[in-house]
Structure 1
Amino acid sequence: MIPLYTRVVAIDDVDDHLQKIVWGLGKAGFCALPFRFEDGKLENAPAQPLPGIRIVFTDIHLVGGGPNNEKTHAANIIKCLKQIVAPGPYVLVFWSQFPRDSDNIAVLIRERAPVAGLMPPIGHAAIDKNDVFKVAEPSRSEDFDAARLRDLILERISSFMTLAVAASWEDRVARAAARTTNRVFGLVRTAAAPTGDWENLLAFLACEAVGQHEARQELIPALDAALLPLLEDQLSLIGREPEPAAQDVQNLLDIVSAERRPACPASVTKSQLNASYLVEEFGADTDLPMWARGTVTALGSSFINSGPFVRAFHHDDATLIRQEFATRELTDDERRSTKLHVVEFGPECDHVQGKVSTHRYLLALLVPVPLMGAFTGVPKDAKKAPSTLRYRNDSVMDIGKITLAVSLPGEWHLLVSCRCFMALAQKTAVDGRPVFRLRRALMEEIAHRYTTHARRPGVMRFHD
């Protein structure tokens, strides 16, 4: 069951019908966001699509033309959904006096949504307006069966069980965020001026989390950094509260309880999973500096093999790739298929406190998957890969196979050298383009490799 008080959307072109579905949704325990469709557009449409909208109730026939003009009706619904629904899973519940048209309209929407730049719904259902009031007659309050509408709403959405599990998780995160706010405010609630002290406390926490200089530049991320530990703690507590309804999670329980371990769906590659969990790819319109912690920058052609490049790494690119990464000689075409990058690796404490005077950039190399044998000790004429991969040296870390949807087609491995780096003064850039960033947990793993394997202390010893 979708959690109570979840936000849902209702769309209709008749004001009275819109009020009725909103009333029924309220009776069913949902927070309805009503939108009226008039003169070919939504009234008071949101400036941006709304994240977290999982259910949309909509009339099928938002304009005249009768039930036979299905393409026009589907196009109008798609137009509304593009304005309201952010990319993600959602279902449509058609609220119509012609519910028999719902299957055909749903097929048209699924066919045309990708072309329109809309993610298609993952399911649909229908509610007949005639079941709860007399559509063809003048509306009177005594004709409207709100209880019946409530029951129909709950019945129609009960079949979307996996969506209910996801919505329940989103609800727990929202409740954890609310508890975090309550916990912080609880520290000042007995003060003489609680509102003022609350503001000062939030400002103090933001500065303590990232440093005053950084908080001035980016206040909202600073607040996120300050409150995230409390949020994670509260989420772990909420996780022990009553779980979603048993029937909602039964399918998942059946899968995880099977004798064989669940397999990753064939539609999802491991490289896509790695890209989702380990990195965040920047969009085409992202304008982030290369000196932000964990940023991976593709080095530009004017910098590679330039004087500053050779001074930083002591070699040209061909020699550098061979000495740091490759386990056999590369042809010119093989070498050109790889991409030199650097990973910003300034100390986290310096980033937090705004004290970065020198940025350290670890050398990294994007290697196409078919060429990985040349970087893992596989002879060129080998019939099969060895059981144990052998990288060039202990400092090389392979973050795994990733797919970059925006910057580069295909599947890649990012190899990071934890012993080869260049240092630049604060906020000094070289020719290059930031393409993605490594997530915090991965940066911690690289830091462990860096300190354990690449920068261990040592002294000269002399033996007989």
Structure 2
Amino acid sequence: MISHACPIIVLDDVRKELLEVAHGLGVCGLPVMSHLVNEGTLERVPSRPYTGIRLLVTDLHLLGPTQTKKEQYIGALISFTKQLVSPSTYLVVFWSNYAEEAAEAWAYLSTRIDPALKPFGYEVLPKDIASAAANGDVEAIKNIQSAIDAIIKKYPQLQAVMEWEASVSRSAAETTNELVRTITQGGATFENQDHVKKVMARMAQEALGYPHAPASPTKGIVQALLPIAQDCLEREASNGYLDAFLEIPNAEKIGLPNNDLVPLLNDFFIHSANSDVSPLDRGAVIRLSEVYLNDKEAGLSRDVGPTDVAGDWRETVCREFAHSWNATTKENQDVIKKALDGKNIYAVELSADCDYAQNKPRAQRFLFALFVSSDAPKPFFSNGKGGANESIYVTPEIHIEKIRGRLLVSCRIFFTKPHGSAPDGKSITRLRKDVIDEISHQYSSHMRRPGKIAFY
């Protein structure tokens, strides 16, 4: 039986039956969040819908025995779901002795609920099994455990994500335990809130840097505890709780079900599209404004362009990112330049981590970047050659604002702005730390090239 971390919602309009159902699931080791439906409304509504619901166990007739039409009680269930569940992947379990009626209810529910809130499937659990379990009947408890276990095991993918979430919850708890043990071993006490506050506040300062901690101490303590949590997660992983589900037989690469998953998975690991990204954040990807691109006196061409481009940002882009630009005919150059979209011109913030932590006055450094759509990569990207020159860092296929393509980052063309300033534009996303560290390494390696001796 899974000891799951996220709450399992239970709905019923009869208090006695709700308590029986909740207790019956509780003896299975499942954390239950019970909600009574009283005269057609939820007796208790959470301040915000629950995140990460995996099972929604509900009575069919939530409006009482007189409301027997599915249009009524399923309509009510849809309304309750909006109040209780944030968009999640979950299974609805109808707590009913009437399987046929449950099938009709599912058919009606699945076509009318918001797709973002739609369960991925349904199961039926006999209602009378809970009463006996709630009364302490040992055999009934075994029966309900077996019934719940059978439902979860019917969907191994559901069981796998529930196991993962349970391991993360245990790791978080163990991280807290280690923190408290450390505080105690150091001569402080958990009973003294001032001791705990000072230790955690100092950890936040060390993680973010003293100047930045006052603005976001919670972010600081999270960053400070992440390495400990990672150690705990790795200890959990050593148990191999997902080995049987993953079934990796050998070293051969496993194909993905669909090629569309490639950029979506890369989005997962390459960048984070947080809405609160500042253009001064390390790794921020800034779409340069049309005004900045076309400003011949103080725009892109002045900041990074050769002296002979005369404010032509398209020429600046093509000279750095287009393959064999100098060998391209003037006629083809004009066609390529005309096709360039200013919405694909970016800057990537690349200030040093130490500068950020110390908050010392220094110039903000930005690398020149171009986003190339997968539908029309040439002449900027070639599967065989990659970028136009070895200084260009090319991401795998990702999405930027739902467009599939690659971000090309020049590691030899950069421009600077005064401390606390950024080029005119809008922050769209932020490259993850591992990616920006890799770009930083490529940038520093390329900048050392004048001192490199090599023969080819």
Q: Which residue of 2 aligns with 1:266?
A: 258
Q: Which residue of 1 aligns with 2:63?
A: 63
Q: Which residue of 2 aligns with 1:89?
A: 89
| 1:186 paired to 2:181 | yes
Map Cα deviations across residues 233-274 of structure 1 (whole Å, 9 max, x no partner).
221122113625xxxx64532xx3389742111274311111
1:188 deviation in Å? 2.1
Structure 2 SS opposite 1:236: helix
Structure 1 SS opposite 2:256: coil
- What is the one-letter code of the residue matched to 1:351? Y
Structure 2 SS opposite 1:302: helix
Q: Which residue of 2 aligns with 1:289?
A: 278
Q: Which residue of 2 aligns with 1:311?
A: 302
- Name which of 152, 176, 197 aligns with 1:157: 152
- Name which of 246, 250, 255 aligns with 1:252: 246
Judge conservation of contact 1:343–1:364 (CA < 8 Å) in 2.
yes
Q: 1:146 to 1:213 in 2, by over 3 A?
A: farther
Consecutive unaligned residues of structure 1, counting only runs of 5 or more, are: 135-139, 378-384
Q: Which residue of 2 aligns with 1:456?
A: 448
Q: 1:37 to 1:431 in 2, by over 3 A?
A: farther
Q: Which residue of 2 aligns with 1:278?
A: 270
Q: 1:202 to 1:143 in 2, by over 3 A?
A: closer
Percent of counterpart pairs with the same letter?
Answer: 26
Q: Which residue of 2 aligns with 1:137?
A: none
Map Cα deviations across residues 421-455 of structure 1 (whole Å, 9 max, x no partner).
221123224431111111111111111111112x1
Which range is displaced more, 258-267 or 79-88? Answer: 258-267
Q: 1:237 to 1:131 in 2, by over 3 A?
A: closer
Q: What is the aligned-residue RMSD (CA, Å)? A: 2.8
- Name which of 388, 399, 402 aligns with 1:403: 399
Q: Compute the TM-score of the two structures, normalised by the length of structure 1.
A: 0.85
- What is the one-letter code of the residue matched to 1:322? C
Which range is displaced more, 187-196 or 309-318? Answer: 187-196
- Number of aligned residue pairs: give it: 432
Map Cα deviations across residues 3-62 of structure 1 (whole Å, 9 max, x no partner).
356531111121111101111011111111111123433232222222222111111221
For 1:242 and 1:336, the matched residues in 2 are separated by: 49
Q: Which residue of 2 aligns with 1:13?
A: 13
Map Cα deviations across residues 56-86 of structure 1 (whole Å, 9 max, x no partner).
1111221147675223333322222222223
For 1:301 and 1:205, the matched residues in 2 are separated by: 43
Q: Compute the TM-score of the two structures, normalised by the length of structure 2.
A: 0.86
Residues 73-222 of structure 1 mapped to structure 2, 5 A cutoff: 73-113=73-113, 116=114, 118-133=116-131, 147=141, 148-190=143-185, 191=187, 193-194=189-190, 195=192, 196-222=194-220
1:456 deviation in Å? 0.9
Judge conservation of contact 2:40–2:63 (CA < 8 Å) in 1.
yes
For 1:142 and 1:219, the matched residues in 2 are separated by: 47
- Name which of 340, 343, 346 aligns with 2:345: 340
- What is the one-letter code of the residue matched to 1:449? Q
Which range is displaced more, 329-338 or 316-325? Answer: 329-338
Structure 1 SS opposite 2:222: helix
Judge conservation of contact 1:132–1:145 (CA < 8 Å) in 2.
no
For 2:238 and 2:136, the matched residues in 1 are separated by: 45
1:150 deviation in Å? 4.0
1:132 deviation in Å? 4.7
Map Cα deviations across residues 254-306 of structure 1 (whole Å, 9 max, x no partner).
xx338974211127431111112111124xxx343211111111111111121
For 2:230 and 2:251, the matched residues in 1 are separated by: 33
Q: Which residue of 1 aligns with 2:390?
A: 394
1:176 deviation in Å? 1.5
For 1:185 and 1:143, the matched residues in 2 are separated by: 40
Judge conservation of contact 2:204–2:221 (CA < 8 Å) in 1.
yes
| 1:370 paired to 2:375 | yes
- What is the one-letter code of the residue matched to 2:287? A
For 2:179 and 2:418, the matched residues in 1 are separated by: 38
For 2:282 and 2:406, the matched residues in 1 are separated by: 20
Q: Which residue of 2 aligns with 1:381?
A: none
For 2:136 and 2:422, the matched residues in 1 are separated by: 71
Q: Which residue of 1 aligns with 2:359?
A: 354
Structure 2 SS opposite 1:52: coil
Map Cα deviations across residues 151-186 of structure 1 (whole Å, 9 max, x no partner).
433333332221111111112122222221111211
